[in-house]
Amino acid sequence: MSDDPVLSVIIPTYNRADTLRLCLWAFDRQETDAPFEIVVCDDGSTDGTGAVIDRAVAAARIPVVHLRQENAGANAARNRAIAAARGERLLIVNDDTIPVPGLVEAHRRAHARRGGRRTSILGRMTIDPALPFSPFSALHHDASYDALAGRDEVGWDAFLTCNVSVDRGFLEEAGGFDPKLFWHEDIELGERLARRGMRLFYAPEALGYHHHLLDEAAYLRIAEREGAALVLWYRKRPDLVADLGRLGLVGPPPLGAAARHRVADLAMPQALLPGWEMAARALTRISPEAGRSVWRRLFQRRKRLAIARALAA
């Protein structure tokens, strides 16, 4: 490979040694002539992550840069990796993104076709078929990409950093990732990029597999993290109240709450949520589709409760 990569793969990682090994192995086997590098920032892992990266540095065909920092969150790790990257374009992924062999080339071709430094390319993600089936994985992850099917250009709220590429200088001009956010940090950056003229195009052929088995507890924790993040974002940018409302931010004026939210909250009082969850488990066994409908409502209810707690803090 050339000493001058045109693209840098940015991977923040924390305590996922086994999954990171799969990720790095798959990136080392990309089918492309474009010179690229992999920049991994270990966010203070305490497992065998460092040894996994060291082995990749020594043995991989693609140049691998190993960075390490004290635990400060994925955004700080991303910013550290971006600062060390040499490619003019960044491909930002997570440590549980397993790329198909043509992912890097698909991003390269999409950029060549679209042109422009303000162009970003969103690749597709789906659950790794090697994992056992989980209804929660499909509810959370696949649903986000299913909504993009058939679309060419998408909005900033689809700037998802499990598989997205962007011009490095353009991203740095927007200020990089906000290290104070621990959820929705990708679409928050997407909004800032959009204000600078970003156009985000969807390239489903740039496919990655999400190697993360989501269970019930993790699914509901995401609801709480989304709610708390929306409030942090609102306090940072109150002028985005309408956009944040479309992402699920509700509350007292000027936020407001739709009638359907008030009805849903009456039907699912906090004290009865454990009972609703028991019912959702039972219903999922009988009718998976009906069960998913209840889980979606439980997710939104948990999210609204998290928003209320964060607003009151």
Tens-digit pLDDT profile for the chain (313 aa)? Answer: 446 899 999 999 999 999 999 999 999 999 999 999 999 999 999 999 999 999 999 999 999 999 999 999 999 999 999 999 999 999 999 999 999 999 999 999 999 999 899 999 999 999 999 998 888 887 877 778 888 999 999 999 999 999 999 999 999 999 999 998 888 899 999 999 999 999 999 999 999 999 998 899 999 999 999 999 999 999 999 999 989 988 888 877 667 666 677 777 888 889 999 999 999 999 989 998 888 899 999 999 999 999 999 999 8
Integer Cα distance of 177 and 306 in angstroms: 23
Other CB atoms within 10 Å distance of the CB of residue 237: 14
Token pair for 277: 């969850």
pLDDT value of residue 280: 94
pLDDT value of residue 257: 66
DSSP state string for 83-100: HH--SSEEEEE-TTEEE-
pLDDT value of residue 134: 84
Integer Cα distance of 151 and 202 in angstroms: 7
Integer Cα distance of 294 and 278 in angstroms: 11
Integer Cα distance of 281 and 51 in angstroms: 40
In whole angstroms, how far apart are CA 278 and each of 112, 135, 281, 282? 51, 15, 5, 6
Select from 191, 217, 201, 209 the least CA-distant residue to 165. Answer: 201
Q: Which amino acid is at 264?
A: A
User: Pairing mode, if any, of strands 153-154 and 64-68?
Assistant: unpaired
User: Which position has the token pair 């999210």?
Assistant: 303
Integer Cα distance of 99 and 209 in angstroms: 6
